[in-house]
């Protein structure tokens, strides 16, 4: 199913806009709108929201392992489906019509949409749960650059200046907010976090930190399991930790998408601090200034190493 990326992210792919926010190719305003207006939500639903490259796939896999880990048939069914079906806004394959036909005992959705484009009122009113994951913006930028290298459209006339091959140039363009994926012109990851962070202390909301998950997976996975109402025994917890380690997930992905390496690189390094090998001092300092300016009035403290 990862091969389908090549279709969505084809050479001529252009971004679409929704209420002033730019969505990356493959993410469709029509689907997002249907999800906003019509999608039925119930209390067993779990929405995993995030900005790209912050650990989305990891959190989705953890939730699937917690819910279906004891049942290999379910796990296989839902994990195989997850990629195609779980994004609210992944329009090319995931029309809401398709959602409606699948009746899961529990539904796990993901979204990269900015908060104003998700109907949080409805999610909350119907008792659904929200999990949001953040990652330090320096490693996020590095992960994003390596991922974007795989986009077939990166060389098109439209995208070439936005996704330069040169590493330093890439980060300069990105940090200036010129790509503004899932954001408004001139904005990006930090503004998106800010909008979602206002839900931090709401009922039925769990905020996760990528680096904390890396440093103490047992603790964080236990937190997720308790939050979604499926506490794990020690043995089950160890099993989920093992199955969702970077090494296990990478190995598993190589089995299912062996020839995908030059395309979407989901499992690259999975580390904290790789930014030190890629960002210039000036770029790193620019991020520090932006964090202060945009998130200075929140209690977010990013972990950089
Ligand atoms: P890197 O490019 O730094 O390796 P997303 O799923 O939101 O696109 O995030 C992708 C990032 O999460 C990639 O970061 C990927 O390697 C990392 N990742 C995926 N699974 C992981 C895991 N089990 N443990 C740690 N990092 C993981």
Residue count of the chain: 305
* CA–centroid distance, residue 249 to ligand 1 (Å): 10
pLDDT at 189: 98
pLDDT at 290: 98
The better pLDDT of the pair 10, 260 is held by: 10
The better pLDDT of the pair 161, 108 is held by: 161
Residues with CB under 6 A from ligand 1: 50, 52-58, 139, 143, 146, 214, 244-246, 249, 266-270, 274
pLDDT at 98: 61
* Distance set, CA 193 to CA 136, 189, 265 (Å): 11, 6, 23
Average pLDDT over residues 172-195: 97
Distance CA 63, CA 55 (A): 12
Among protein residues, the one whose CA lies closest to atom 9 of ligand 1: 53
Q: Which residue among 111, 131, 138, 143 has the greatest number of ligand 1 atoms within 8 angstroms of its CB, and so is best to mutate?
A: 143
pLDDT at 111: 93
Q: Is the pTM here over 0.90, yes or no?
A: yes
Sole residue written with tokens 């996760």? 208
| Secondary element (H or E) of residue 295 | helix 281-295
pLDDT at 92: 45
* CA–centroid distance, residue 97 to ligand 1 (Å): 30
Model pLDDT for residues 206-248, shown as the tens digit of each residue: 999 999 999 999 999 999 999 999 999 999 999 999 999 999 9
Sign, Cα dihedral of 162, 166, 167, 171: negative
pLDDT at 84: 55
- ipTM, 2 dp: 0.99
pLDDT at 263 over 90: no
pLDDT at 12: 82
pLDDT at 93: 46
Distance CA 105, CA 73 (A): 14
The better pLDDT of the pair 10, 178 is held by: 178
Sole residue written with tokens 């991020």? 287
Is there a contact between 54 and 135 (Cβ–Cβ < 8 Å)?
Answer: yes
In the structure, what pLDDT confidence band is assigned to residue 55 with cuts at 50, 70 and 90?
A: very high
Average pLDDT over residues 1-26: 77
pLDDT at 25: 86
Name the residue among 29, 61, 82 with its Cα closest to residue 131.
Answer: 61
Q: DSSP readout, 207-272?
A: EEEHHHHHH-HHHHHHHHHHHTT----HHHHHHHHHHTSHHHHHHHHHHH-TT-TTS----S---S
Distance CA 12, CA 28 (A): 15
Is there a contact between 58 and 244 (Cβ–Cβ < 8 Å)?
Answer: yes
pLDDT at 75 over 70: yes
- 112 among known catalytic residues: yes
């Amino acid at each position: 199913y990862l091969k389908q990326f090549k279709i969505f992210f084809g050479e001529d792919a252009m971004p679409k806009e929704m209420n002033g926010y730019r969505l990356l190719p493959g993410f469709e305003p029509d689907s997002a709108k249907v999800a906003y207006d019509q999608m039925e939500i119930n209390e067993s639903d779990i929405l995993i929201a995030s900005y790209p490259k912050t650990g989305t796939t990891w959190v989705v896999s953890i939730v699937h392992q917690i819910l279906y880990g004891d049942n290999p048939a379910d796990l296989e069914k839902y994990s195989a489906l997850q990629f195609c079906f779980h994004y609210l806004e992944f329009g090319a394959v995931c029309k809401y019509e398709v959602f409606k036909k699948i009746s899961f005992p529990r539904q796990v959705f993901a979204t990269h949409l900015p908060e104003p484009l998700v109907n949080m009122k409805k999610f909350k009113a119907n008792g659904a749960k929200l999990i949001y994951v953040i990652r330090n913006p320096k490693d996020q930028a590095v992960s994003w650059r390596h991922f974007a290298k795989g986009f077939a459209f990166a060389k098109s006339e439209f995208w070439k200046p936005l996704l330069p091959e040169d590493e330093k140039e890439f980060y300069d363009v990105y940090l200036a907010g010129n790509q503004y994926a899932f954001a408004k012109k001139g904005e990006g990851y930090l503004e998106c976090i800010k909008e979602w962070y206002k839900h931090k202390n709401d009922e039925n909301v769990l905020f996760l930190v990528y680096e904390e998950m890396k440093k103490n997976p047992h603790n964080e996975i236990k937190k997720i399991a308790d939050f979604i109402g499926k506490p794990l025994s020690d043995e089950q917890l160890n099993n989920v930790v093992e199955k969702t380690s970077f090494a296990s997930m990478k190995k598993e992905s190589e089995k299912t998408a062996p020839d995908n390496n030059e395309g979407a690189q989901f499992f690259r390094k999975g580390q904290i601090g790789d930014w030190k090998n890629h960002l210039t001092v000036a770029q790193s300092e620019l991020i520090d200034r932006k964090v202060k300016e945009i998130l200075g009035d929140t209690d977010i403290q990013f972990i950089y190493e």
